[in-house]
Amino acid sequence: MLDPRRLQALHAVATTGSVKEAATQLGYSSSAISQQITALERETGSVLLEPAGRGVRPTPAGELLAQHAERIFEQLAQAESELIALNAGQLGSLRLAAFASAGAELIPPALAQVRAELPALDVTLRNTDPEEALALLRRGLVDVALIERHGPLVDDDGLAYHPLLRDPYRLLLPRGHRLARRRAVRLADAAGEHWVDLRLHKGCCRVEAHAAFRRAGFEPHWVAEADDYSPAQGFVAAGLGLALIPSLALGVLRADVVIRPLTPDNEPSRDVFAVTRPALAATTAVQAILAALTASARRQPTQ
């Protein structure tokens, strides 16, 4: 492989027509430039320069290499410029994956902030469950994953976890329900009620909600199953049953339902994290979205 420093010396001599001027241009001695040219001639097996009056000029082989050298250095300069822009967040992309209720309340203001700060950044978002989001992150298919966790965090998997907020579950009641008159509800006082199950409560979310029922001393009587939080509100409004729903999922509330906090002795909750790979943690784009998500989390009523 040709040595770029020797190509640089040849290009300088070819454009100035003088070893001395090339040395001045590059900040080397004339002997150093001559040595680089000699080494390049030996490396290529070609005569690259010939005398021309008081100076030198490139041979056809020298002209060919000098032209390639010019294109190479232009590409290197472009690469350096694009790398600077990428590191500054002025170029490139930011790929996010998040669970559904984070996408409804937490992410939109954060994305708006990043877009205002880094308008040239191409930002994309995909909704997925936490385990898939982490898998996409590990495979390099997304740059930041928003996940929900319950209980102690085990962060020895080589990823960088940034805590955002604690999201408590709320009790969703039809307006006029007997428990709606209370400022906070003991879950045990709803033991005789019917309940709406949430299909999107999977894994640790389902475990956390069901653990709260067991601590309250009863198993819920399920009468309906909702695919999402919006139809769950409809079932509750119709008086079919009550529902336990994370606070982040209740940003848009029907007029015919009310939410009440549970008493602190038995209030299920989930912790929300932004996760990235350590190699990306210091990049401008990732730093911008982490700061924006942190600011958005602080504005959430769950704090």
- Decide which of 129 and 193 is more confident: 193
Give the pLDDT of residue 120.
86
Distance of CA 82 to the CA centre of its chain: 20
pLDDT over 80 (residue 90): no
Confidence of residue 77 (pLDDT cuts 50, 70, 90): confident
**More confident site: 158 or 10:** 10
- 234 vs 248: CA distance, rounded Å: 18
Pure H helices in 192-283? 203-215, 229-237
Distances (CA, A) of 231 to 58, 63, 148, 190, 279: 78, 73, 22, 21, 41
The per-residue pLDDT for 275 is 96
Q: What is the pLDDT of residue 204?
A: 67
The least confident of 17-21, 138-142, 153-157, 255-259 is 153-157
Give the Cα separation of 220 and 224 in Å (integer): 11
* pTM (global) more than 0.85: no
Query: What pLDDT is attached to residue 154?
Result: 63
Question: Is residue 161 a contact partner of residue 271, using CB atoms and an 8 Å limit?
Answer: no
> Which amino acid makes up residue 127?
N
Residue whose entry in the numeric block shows the structure tokens 């730093």: 287
Alpha helices in the chain (DSSP H): 4-16, 19-26, 30-44, 60-87, 100-105, 107-117, 130-138, 203-215, 229-237, 284-299
Say which range, 232-236, 279-283, 289-293, has the weakest mean pLDDT. 279-283
Instruction: Please tell me what DSSP assigns to residue 262.
Output: B
Q: Is the pLDDT of residue 161 over 60?
A: yes
Domains annotated for the chain, with CATH where assigned, are 4-87 (1.10.10.10), 93-164+271-299 (3.40.190.10), 167-270 (3.40.190.10)
What per-residue confidence (pLDDT) applies to 259? 95
Q: Is the pLDDT of residue 249 over 90?
A: no
Model confidence over 15-70: pLDDT tens digits? 999 999 999 999 999 999 999 999 999 999 999 999 998 899 999 999 999 999 99
pLDDT higher than threshold 90 for residue 208: no
Assign 303 a pLDDT band (cuts: 50, 70, 90): very low
Q: How far is CA 9 from CA 46, 50, 55, in A?
A: 16, 15, 15
Cβ pair 262, 187 in contact under 8 A: yes
> Residue 131, SS3?
helix
